[in-house]
Structure 1
């Protein structure tokens, strides 16, 4: 069989490429040819149209929209979350083969010819056809988050660097205001920025502009996931207005969904052929921007702004047991699926807190996300006989992945032995998150791991929280492996040589 696949995850970093590697290995093992297009953070190199035309089946392993999926129209298709491609690549390949065989049985192409591609237009929505409302909603929201994260990461780290280089007064110097009894005027002439605020002021301004795009990009690409390109304009406009009115992150979620739903509804209206050409470039943007804008300003903006302020006040007021519980919960979520949807919900909550000016939640989330890979790397060093050769190799890479806040570095271990590994990781991450919140450590950076330790408030206590969680997870993993471990140590080498585990395939990418 000739199979093509597309892999894509919300951040486009680890899951995307691990899934591609696992699918390629599984197809080779089964005697099939498979070509993968990775739609990751580094961009995508599209599959050759000739390869697509010759394909017997298609695999979409994606948690966000598959870009340009109309290229694959008419082909037998198997759709699954990207995590399943890592854990059960062989099963996905087998499903694709069955789908191709069923298609050939019911509608065989003429001898010597390739079945023509379906020329029907692609569906308006950018998510999996036939998925339930919950699955579609998750994919819509994750699409918005995936496009938002680069703006947040770049902007947040630049702002944090500006504070580190220019001190806390750099914000007042650039935006105007009073700091320690001294009053500054807002710098409106950007050509005078270096002279009046120094290079730290330049970093702050660039970072602030990038970070200010958080809400409109989130809103715009939620609408894009729902209604394709016509949804971007009303989504972005709605997000900008939501941000201006104080509705913030919650407003971006609501306006994105509302804009996408509105554009989908307008697109279904039958219009005369003479008007069809101007609908996507004039009528839909005009009507949708007007309706969404009026809705935000007149109806929903203020209530959402009040809810956003209430959430901000709640975060700012967290003390004692409440802070511990929130930190522990976020830690559990970060380790539960290691870069999957639950992990992304916790990370997004941290971003919402960061955008609202609460820096403790982001610190707890980042520390809890660093814990699993480092704990597993430590466990492979302390008790190497409990792990297969492939897992020990993955452990070598997990040190750097964990230090860089790439939780996906733990996936090779969790895929091979989920019942023992995942609960152990959740325990350690819960400890790290709870201690980080209790210590009131802060992070101005939304990403970067240990490499942005200079941007962490109370760095000593932050490291203590991280080390405590690592120790708990490593101890739990070692203890769990001792109790009826899945692969006996004496046989692990032979077993790995005869039948490569999912962790071995994933470790290649890690």
Structure 2
């Protein structure tokens, strides 16, 4: 049997390649030939050729963002979450061996479901919403990263200290770089909305999604000084996507069908989204965003600590999963709202789980199997560059001890960062962001990471059992 696979996660960093590795190794163990295409942050790698697709017995798509399936018509295709590619690779492959996968393009669609998921259709709908949101986030992040780094660079090198903070001289080259960074930020909400809509309605959703996102971000359309921000962008994206999808289902004469996706659907969808947002949704959502921003700016003392506790717990709870992504998206969005200290707390919490567990394996090898010790080295490297997923191998093996330990460590680090007014101008975490001068109060940032990691390491080692000596060696 010859199988192909595609793996892709919202950030396109860790889960994408972990799933590819698991699928490849499992296929090799089962004596099955497999090639895996990864669609990560760097782009498509190991791309599947037309000849390979033609020869394959089936294709596994393990992804949490939209993957174009048009090239697989007439082939057996199984869709699953990227986490299934990591945790259930053998089950995915055996579905092909047992003949449980139907041909793509037939009435039957293939989605890996547990018994509970089959019984609960609402959960399946939530997965679609999550996948669409993460598709938008994955395309938005590069714009926020570039904008944040350019702004941080301009202020760090070209800024001159004044009583009101760093100011860049007018007409200088650094002012131009600052403007370019601000332009990158301007694309953030339209891109988010556009690719949410694409995930729902394919390419016909792109134009109405981006137009709706631009309207959401620009309060002048509906008489608001502040726009509707990222919340408005998310709503505009889903609104555009489902409007475009609804129009696609309307039966039309054959002669009009060719112009539907390039003219009729984008035009009608854009007009409807614009009307709904300008006259109905814009002002209420902008009011919510203004209230949220004012509330965050007014936070002092215990209320800031509570926010840090919540963010730290969410970031570490599922290590790159949906809960983590909600906190991460909130922190990233707040950069554009002038609340970079929230991303500072998130950036601190992001790297503590892998760093803390990697440190734990160094401090007490007797409590870890040989393969866990090797995973600890990888976790340390992943933690330095802000990849929370480095903690997953430990949590999968011993969740009841590992997850509480990393949550407490991340909470401690996030609280220290919040109280120290650590800021982060880019939506990423770990010591690596300090190298790009994107972090304010670097010593406190690094101190918070160290303390949180040490707390995690000592906690997990205190409650873990010592493994058999033979297993360690």
8 Å Cα contact 2:11-2:40 kept in structure 1: yes
SS of the residue aligned with 1:277? helix
Displacement of 1:492:
3.9
How do residues 211-290 of structure 1 correspond to structure 2 at under 5 angstroms?
211-245=185-219, 246-290=227-271
Q: Does 1:426 find its partner at 2:407?
A: yes
8 Å Cα contact 1:233-1:285 kept in structure 2: yes
Bigger relative contact order (CA 8 A; separation at least 6)? 1
Displacement of 1:27:
0.9
Residues 302 and 160 of structure 1: CA distance in aligned 2, closer, same or farther (over 3 Å): same
The equivalent residue for 2:18 is 18
- Counterpart among 349, 358, 364 of residue 377 in structure 1: 358
Q: Does 1:149 find its partner at 2:141?
A: yes
Q: Distance in 1 between matches of 2:286 and 2:95?
A: 47
Unpaired runs of 5+ in structure 1?
Answer: 108-116, 170-178, 185-193, 494-510
Q: Deviations over 1:238-291 (max 9, x none)?
A: 111111111111110110010001101111111111111111111112111111
Displacement of 1:420:
2.3
Count of residues in Structure 1 that have an aligned counterpart in Structure 2: 452
Displacement of 1:14:
1.1
Q: Distance in 1 between matches of 2:194 and 2:309?
A: 32
Residues 92 and 426 of structure 1: CA distance in aligned 2, closer, same or farther (over 3 Å): farther
Displacement of 1:63:
1.0
Residues 96 and 336 of structure 1: CA distance in aligned 2, closer, same or farther (over 3 Å): farther
Q: Deviations over 1:418-452 (max 9, x none)?
A: 33222211111111112222222222232253133
Displacement of 1:78:
3.3
SS of the residue aligned with 1:11? coil
- Counterpart among 129, 139, 145 of residue 131 in structure 2: 139
Q: Distance in 1 between matches of 2:366 and 2:311?
A: 32
Residues 364 and 96 of structure 1: CA distance in aligned 2, closer, same or farther (over 3 Å): farther
How do residues 3-82 of structure 1 correspond to structure 2 at under 5 angstroms?
3-45=3-45, 46-66=47-67, 68-82=68-82
Q: Distance in 2 between matches of 1:310 and 1:489?
A: 58
Residues 198 and 397 of structure 1: CA distance in aligned 2, closer, same or farther (over 3 Å): farther
The equivalent residue for 1:480 is 463
Q: Deviations over 1:64-121 (max 9, x none)?
A: 111x2122334444333212322332333233432xx346xxx9xxxxxxxxx76679
Q: Does 1:462 find its partner at 2:456?
A: no
Q: Does 1:203 find its partner at 2:177?
A: yes
8 Å Cα contact 1:316-1:358 kept in structure 2: yes
8 Å Cα contact 2:351-2:429 kept in structure 1: no
Q: Distance in 2 between matches of 1:377 and 1:197?
A: 48
Highest Rg: 1 or 2?
1
TM-score (norm 2): 0.89
The equivalent residue for 2:305 is 324
Q: Distance in 2 between matches of 1:181 and 1:364?
A: 24
Q: Does 1:368 find its partner at 2:360?
A: no
Q: Distance in 1 between matches of 2:191 and 2:393?
A: 32
Q: Distance in 2 between matches of 1:394 and 1:287?
A: 52
Displacement of 1:465:
1.9
Q: Distance in 2 between matches of 1:13 and 1:303?
A: 36
The equivalent residue for 2:155 is 163
CA RMSD of aligned residues (A): 2.6
Displacement of 1:196:
4.6
SS of the residue aligned with 1:305? helix
Residues 405 and 243 of structure 1: CA distance in aligned 2, closer, same or farther (over 3 Å): same
The equivalent residue for 2:471 is 491
Q: Distance in 2 between matches of 1:206 and 1:412?
A: 40
Worse-superposed segment, 25-34 or 391-400: 391-400
SS of the residue aligned with 2:41? coil
Q: Distance in 2 between matches of 1:310 and 1:349?
A: 15
The equivalent residue for 1:309 is 290
Unpaired runs of 5+ in structure 2?
Answer: 110-116, 220-226
Q: Distance in 2 between matches of 1:361 and 1:338?
A: 18
Displacement of 1:394:
2.4
The equivalent residue for 2:93 is 93
SS of the residue aligned with 1:85? helix
Worse-superposed segment, 71-80 or 253-262: 71-80
